[in-house]
Chains A and B, each alone.
Chain A
């Protein structure tokens, strides 16, 4: 056995009409190894794993499992052969219990009936063994995203697991949950499972990876041992640019107070009081579930407001409907671009047009839409957010996560906003695109707009912000600026218990 890698691909190629998604990639994974796939969106990572997972079949080349060439008919076929993939989009049924999800398609039977008791017991044991603190009788939709991910991983442990493919597993996890995941990955390694790990979070690699393979434009750039490389070198392999070019230096404007929030209270938020000034970037950090997103969704009128006042340029907007708040000059970019941000079946142009039609930037206030002006402005915005010409008329569902995020950013330029709230602006976005998005944030702030960046990615908030607020248990546990914005300080306030006692 040891003569062969656990799984390898030989000159694996995927040709779509007009696009070479993967070009003759050789990849190999040994037993008990974590092999990271690294590359920008559209580099071919997803294509590669979709073929390892059985979701897609190669145009040319071969997949070799333990020395034998294999062809997977389906994802189920690959799973039967010991290859399990945890995709970014979960395969859980939200209305079923955790136990039912874990055993979906594998239900223990008692005669012709499902044996629910055994199922709950075994689910409980599996969760316990993996160290996940989840009740198997909970309804899946009641769980946090991180917990759902744990359930998704648990599902992999039915058969004889040889290869576990994790697609951006940490994108929605907090640092504590990431620690847990890594411990668990370590335990799997010890058992001889091979792990293919896809991530954009380069700072994670030194903690878990053995080797890294970098892909760019469908081709393999190289495979390196993690001990023989550095973050900077990897980023350069991926993008061809150096890492200090990623976070721009943003000049602080220090303008007038734009937004004043006083004693805002709602379910899960206690007495939030803070200000946002024109020309500054306010970072908002906190664990998942700390209420950092909820606080701003409440300000936007997306959840019910119990008490407190919100003023924009002195005007009370505490009880205004969302559309009035947007028209008054606050724009909110949803963290979930697919569910709340974009109309997936339409082109980027059509998506941008909605904001242009609703805003007062073009065409005046009349009821008739001047499409020539709207389209011209949509083009200008697309140029500004650097959306490639070829993508503009395609349905946004066909674009990569990074390009979809560019379209979402573009929407905030369609309406004349003075305060722009970015909620998790770079989830699932590659480094190259991130750098471009950060530049847009810089330009917004330096042109005198107020910018709020809500993010679970700590380096991101810390590097972009002039000032930060930290939330814990729905309570603003700290407001930091200047030299106080260190990682230890911020983490300390992540676990502040003041809010929990309420």
Chain B
């Protein structure tokens, strides 16, 4: 904070970086220094590869979260979309595998689509509430998150759904293609698609415009309601995809998957310079932001920080990032 407050020439490049990309580079450097000092395993290639693999899930969800944040809202129900997808697709696969024992891939595909459908309906409910009834995104997604979590528990009675087809976990949980884990390949594909979507398509541009000033967007012939709706649906869809990958990883449908991911994804986005006021944010930075969160968690694990203290630190990190976001927004507007 002191570096930003002093307006001397020596700190000028720091201010410029801060205004341009936000707080992430500073956090990243800080984390690297601290955790390298605490554990000699931290900076090893093997550990970093491990972090990259683990961060796949958060990277995906954070990109969806980013879309909604840029549109000027936020989505607290991403964790619920994951849980609901996990439960519904697992139940579907188990049931369909019983009906079509010879067409296991058909069962997997149909089960996955049932999971997608469940998550998309969460996204639709969020989108309709926010866009057409102008409910605040906070209340809307908080409510939807309770609805979805309740349904997931109701469907399973709180017991994990087991007996899923082995091919599913083998391929999407532990499979490799050309030596690269399948989840990583899927994440890379998603990153490319999202980057193209946000920076090269008209729809992506509309999301930025709606988040920047919704009334101005309306007066520029943008269908603001449809744009908002689309943001929530795509976010739920990406969360759903993540839910499938996590289900494959744990080999069962679980209603408690993704319980902390709403907070983590918002933290990843804000640290990566996505503005909570909407209209500002970049895919490539968000990917780094999510990577950073997982890196910090990994570093804390290596330094043997208890999981309870990890929650404390993660919350503090989010608050700090929001404070810096506030400062940055003021700097952007005033130009000092």
Binding site for B on A (CB under 8 A): 16-17, 321-323, 326-327, 332, 334, 339-346, 350-351, 353-355, 357-359, 367-369, 371, 394-395, 397-398, 411, 414-415
Near A by CB (< 8 A), chain B positions 317-336 give: 329, 332-336
Determine how close the nearest CB of chain A comes to the CB of B126; give it in whole angstroms: 23
Closest residue of chain B to A344 (Cβ to Cβ) is B333
Given A340-B213, A354-B205, A368-B201; A346-B279 close (CB under 8 Å): yes
Q: Give Cα A394–Cα B333 distance, bound, in whole angstroms.
A: 9
Q: Give Cα A344–Cα B279 distance, bound, in whole angstroms.
A: 10
- Which of the candidate stretches B24-32, B37-45, B220-228, B263-271 sits at the interface with the other chain? B220-228
Chain A positions within 8 Å of B206 at CB level:
354, 357-358
Contact present for A411 and B201 (CB under 8 Å): no
Q: Give Cα A398–Cα B280 distance, bound, in whole angstroms.
A: 17
Contact present for B336 and A353 (CB under 8 Å): no
Contact present for A411 and B220 (CB under 8 Å): yes
Determine how close the nearest CB of chain B comes to the CB of A377; give it in whole angstroms: 14
Given A323-B221, A327-B221, A394-B335; A357-B216 close (CB under 8 Å): no
Give 4 nearest A-B pairs by CB, closest first. A343-B212, A326-B221, A340-B215, A323-B221
Contact present for B220 and A354 (CB under 8 Å): yes
Contact present for B332 and A357 (CB under 8 Å): no
Chain A positions within 8 Å of B213 at CB level:
339-344
Contact present for A353 and B205 (CB under 8 Å): yes
Q: Give Cα A398–Cα B212 distance, bound, in whole angstroms.
A: 16
Determine how close the nearest CB of chain B comes to the CB of A391; give it in whole angstroms: 11
Chain B positions within 8 Å of A411 at CB level:
220
Determine how close the nearest CB of chain A comes to the CB of B59; give it in whole angstroms: 24
Chain B positions within 8 Å of A344 at CB level:
212-213, 333
Given A367-B202, A394-B335; A358-B221 close (CB under 8 Å): yes
Determine how close the nearest CB of chain B comes to the CB of A415; give it in whole angstroms: 7
Chain B positions within 8 Å of A332 at CB level:
219
Contact present for A339 and B215 (CB under 8 Å): yes
B275 at the A interface (CB under 8 A):
yes
Contact present for A395 and B219 (CB under 8 Å): no
Contact present for B217 and A354 (CB under 8 Å): yes
B176 at the A interface (CB under 8 A):
no
A343-B279, A344-B333, A395-B335 are known; give 4 further A-B pairs, CB within 8 A.
Answer: A322-B221, A340-B213, A345-B333, A358-B206
Chain B 254-275 per-residue mask, 1 if CB under 8 angstroms from chain A, else 0: 0000000000000000000001
Chain A positions within 8 Å of B200 at CB level:
368-369, 371
Chain B positions within 8 Å of A16 at CB level:
336
Chain B positions within 8 Å of A394 at CB level:
335
Given A355-B220, A395-B335; A345-B215 close (CB under 8 Å): no
Binding site for A on B (CB under 8 A): 7, 200-206, 208-209, 212-213, 215-223, 275, 277, 279-280, 329, 332-336
Interface centre among A354, A398, A414 (most CB of B within 10 A): A354
Interface centre among A321, A326, A358, A411 (most CB of B within 10 A): A358
Q: Give Cα A359–Cα B279 distance, bound, in whole angstroms.
A: 20
Chain A positions within 8 Å of B205 at CB level:
353-354, 357, 369
Determine how close the nearest CB of chain A comes to the CB of B87; give it in whole angstroms: 35
30 contacts between A and B (CB under 8 A): A322-B218, A322-B219, A322-B221, A326-B219, A326-B221, A334-B215, A340-B213, A340-B215, A340-B219, A341-B213, A342-B213, A343-B279, A344-B212, A345-B212, A345-B332, A350-B208, A354-B209, A354-B217, A354-B220, A355-B220, A358-B220, A367-B201, A367-B203, A368-B200, A368-B201, A368-B202, A397-B332, A397-B334, A398-B335, A415-B221
Contact present for B334 and A398 (CB under 8 Å): yes
The listed residue (A322, A327, A350, A369) touching B202 by CB distance below 8 A is A369
Q: Give Cα A447–Cα B332 distance, bound, in whole angstroms.
A: 38
Closest residue of chain B to A355 (Cβ to Cβ) is B220
Q: Give Cα A351–Cα B213 distance, bound, in whole angstroms.
A: 10
Q: Give Cα A93–Cα B9 distance, bound, in whole angstroms.
A: 39
Chain A positions within 8 Å of B334 at CB level:
397-398
Q: Give Cα A16–Cα B279 distance, bound, in whole angstroms.
A: 28
Contact present for A345 and B275 (CB under 8 Å): yes
Closest residue of chain B to A300 (Cβ to Cβ) is B219
Contact present for A334 and B212 (CB under 8 Å): no
Determine how close the nearest CB of chain B comes to the CB of A228; give it in whole angstroms: 40
Chain A positions within 8 Å of B7 at CB level:
17
Closest residue of chain A to B7 (Cβ to Cβ) is A17
Chain A positions within 8 Å of B336 at CB level:
16-17
Chain A positions within 8 Å of B212 at CB level:
343-346
Chain A positions within 8 Å of B279 at CB level:
343, 345-346
Closest residue of chain B to A326 (Cβ to Cβ) is B221
Determine how close the nearest CB of chain B comes to the CB of A295; give it in whole angstroms: 17
The listed residue (A327, A339, A350, A397) touching B333 by CB distance below 8 A is A397
Q: Give Cα A395–Cα B222 distance, bound, in whole angstroms.
A: 21
